[in-house]
Structure 1
Amino acid sequence: MLIIRSFLFHIAFYAIMAVIIVVTLPFYFFLPHSAAILIVKAWTATTMWALRVVAGISIEIRGLERLPKNAALIAPKHQSAFETMALFPLLKDPTFVMKRQLMLIPLFGWYTWKAGMIAVDRAGGSKALRKLAADSKAAAAEGKQIILFPEGTRRPVGAPPDYKFGIIHLYRELKVPVIPIALNAGLYWPRRSFMRYPGTIIIEVLEPIPPGLDSKTFLARLIATIEPATDRLVAEAAAGAHPPPIPAAAARPAAAKA
């Protein structure tokens, strides 16, 4: 049954994407930014509906009142593809920092450009960092919420934290609050896995970090905010009546992961 539900969710996932792209494609060049954002929000919200109905995965959001309506830097834990979609409908005017390669994918990539996502070339060195800062400043000036995964790529549940320089760079350059987010999505929507395990994914919006801290203090505070909260959410899932598979690394004491 678990395999069948996972299979059906994959069908629903790609069907939803195909329908939205095909229906809106004739109007692509005429779509204003606001319409493109609404289309992306409709796609992500519909996908979350399919996740609940087909795969049996519900979503609980804690601390929703901490999400900003003005310019801010959103820093979520990144465990799976789930958070690339689930956070989008929750924010007023979000923009993701994305790998440039993703934005070159036909159709899908076109819509990310239209919706104003920020492309980053991971191999571009200091030049790429300057462009990232310039694009992010422009987005912040428009009051957008900029979503950047501090670890850059998906990390297995329980893996030691691996925060990249990009989050420090944008914190220094943008001078806006940083909103840390913890979650346990990787237990139910594991990276590089076909399976979707039923249960409740918890997204917890944590206390904002104000601008103005030095880089070392900021990074230490960010890690000390996100990592224990994430470990707590994983432990909460493990203690539930019907826990998903818990990776061995996630069961190690927090000190062993640091």
Structure 2
Amino acid sequence: MSGLAYGWRWLRSLLFSGVIYAAMLPIGLAYTPWAIMSRDGAVAAAHTWCRFVRWLARVLLGLRTEVRGTPPEGEVMVAAKHQSFLDIIMIYGSVPRGRFIMKKELVYAPVLGQIALRMGCVPVDRGKRGAAIKKMMVEVRAGRDDPGQLIIYPQGTRLAPGVHAPYKTGTAAIYRELNQPCVPVACNVGLFWPRRGVLRRPGTAVVEFLPPIPPGLPAPEFMARLEAEIEPRSNALMAEAGFPLAVEETA
């Protein structure tokens, strides 16, 4: 790629980033009255923003996004490969009632924190995730909260394509506590929207919902199966996009 082409792509990527983050405020404010009255308003605001981001990526960057498999609609845990912010956008935008576990401090972020709470996200203190999950389940069973899809990232952080990190055992604790099916999700999005930096690349970013893992498996069996589902399929999606696979281990 010539220097001119690279510079033009970088500038478009910078414009894209500025527009999508700036759009959070007007979209959030537009949906605030509905969100105050109903969680549906907060979910609609988030889904609208996700659709806008995917549309602008295609128009401005030549970055198409494809969701494969069947996004779940019932009460399930969604355990996903995490390569960049794009997989969050694509997964959340594909499920009807997604929610995340988030740091309690984010509750105090203007507009964003309140929208996240209305979406059903679960704020937690450090080291008290189990208690937060139990409280959420009690609220759902008592009819004071809506059921939905809890989205988690079993490796705990964003990882560049080709980098492998252990699957954290806390994932099995959440799976046991929820006693719900777990839907694994593979992706290749980090090839086009990296975890750091501004530059976005054209192509087709894919997230794929895989067949659900039933509830009730012993923790070691569940963890082994989850990794065996997500990692090979993510590698296959990256290979499909032309990425040479040489997996690098990380602690």
Aligning the two structures, in what range does the TM-score lie when normalised by the shorter sequence?
A: 0.7 to 0.9
> In structure 1, what is the equivalent of residue 191 of structure 2?
187
Aligned-partner residue type, residue 3 of structure 1: W
Cα offset, 1:53, TM superposition: 1.1
1:208 matched to 2:189? no
> In structure 1, what is the equivalent of residue 12 of structure 2?
5
Distance (Å, rounded) in 2 between the aligned partners of 1:176 and 1:83: 22
Cα offset, 1:192, TM superposition: 1.5
Q: What SS does the aligned partner of 1:61 have?
A: strand
Structure 2 counterparts to residues 102-251 of structure 1, below 5 A: 102-121=106-125, 124-125=126-127, 127-136=128-137, 138-139=139-140, 142-238=146-242, 251=245
Distance (Å, rounded) in 2 between the aligned partners of 1:159 and 1:133: 33
| Identity in percent | 34
Q: 1:77 to 1:111 in 2, by over 3 A?
A: same
Distance (Å, rounded) in 2 between the aligned partners of 1:107 and 1:31: 15
Distance (Å, rounded) in 2 between the aligned partners of 1:166 and 1:136: 17
**Is the CA contact (8 Å cut-off) linking 1:158 and 1:257 kept in structure 2?**
no
- TM norm structure 2: 0.87
Cα offset, 1:137, TM superposition: 5.7
Aligned-partner residue type, residue 87 of structure 1: I
Q: What SS does the aligned partner of 1:87 have?
A: helix
Aligned-partner residue type, residue 64 of structure 2: S
1:49 matched to 2:55? yes
Q: What SS does the aligned partner of 2:162 have?
A: coil
Q: 1:100 to 1:162 in 2, by over 3 A?
A: farther
C-alpha offsets along residues 148-196 of structure 1, whole Å, 9 cap, x if unaligned?
A: 1112221121112322222111111111110000001111110111111
Structure 1 residue corresponding to 2:246, chosen from 227, 233, 252: 252
Distance (Å, rounded) in 2 between the aligned partners of 1:152 and 1:139: 25
C-alpha offsets along residues 6-26 of structure 1, whole Å, 9 cap, x if unaligned?
A: 01211221232122133344x
Aligned-partner residue type, residue 53 of structure 1: V
Distance (Å, rounded) in 2 between the aligned partners of 1:160 and 1:184: 13
The alignment of Structure 1 onto Structure 2 pairs a total of residues equal to 241
Q: 1:227 to 1:257 in 2, by over 3 A?
A: farther
**Is the CA contact (8 Å cut-off) linking 1:183 and 1:203 kept in structure 2?**
yes
Distance (Å, rounded) in 2 between the aligned partners of 1:101 and 1:53: 35
- TM norm structure 1: 0.85
C-alpha offsets along residues 127-165 of structure 1, whole Å, 9 cap, x if unaligned?
A: 332223432564587431111111222112111232222
C-alpha offsets along residues 199-242 of structure 1, whole Å, 9 cap, x if unaligned?
A: 1001111121001110000000000110011111111111xxxx
Aligned-partner residue type, residue 80 of structure 1: S
Q: What SS does the aligned partner of 2:163 have?
A: coil
Distance (Å, rounded) in 2 between the aligned partners of 1:112 and 1:217: 33
Distance (Å, rounded) in 1 between the aligned partners of 2:219 and 2:174: 10
Cα offset, 1:79, TM superposition: 0.6
C-alpha offsets along residues 92-114 of structure 1, whole Å, 9 cap, x if unaligned?
A: 22212223333332221121112
**Is the CA contact (8 Å cut-off) linking 1:136 and 1:146 kept in structure 2?**
no
**Is the CA contact (8 Å cut-off) linking 2:66 and 2:205 kept in structure 1?**
yes
Distance (Å, rounded) in 1 between the aligned partners of 2:247 and 2:153: 24
> In structure 2, what is the equivalent of residue 72 of structure 1?
76
1:37 matched to 2:51? no
Deviates more, 1:81-90 or 1:14-23: 14-23
Query: Unaligned regions of 5+ residues in structure 2, if any?
Result: 1-7
Cα offset, 1:69, TM superposition: 1.6
Q: CA RMSD in A?
A: 2.3
Cα offset, 1:198, TM superposition: 0.8
Q: 1:36 to 1:234 in 2, by over 3 A?
A: same
Distance (Å, rounded) in 2 between the aligned partners of 1:29 and 1:98: 19
Q: 1:253 to 1:8 in 2, by over 3 A?
A: closer
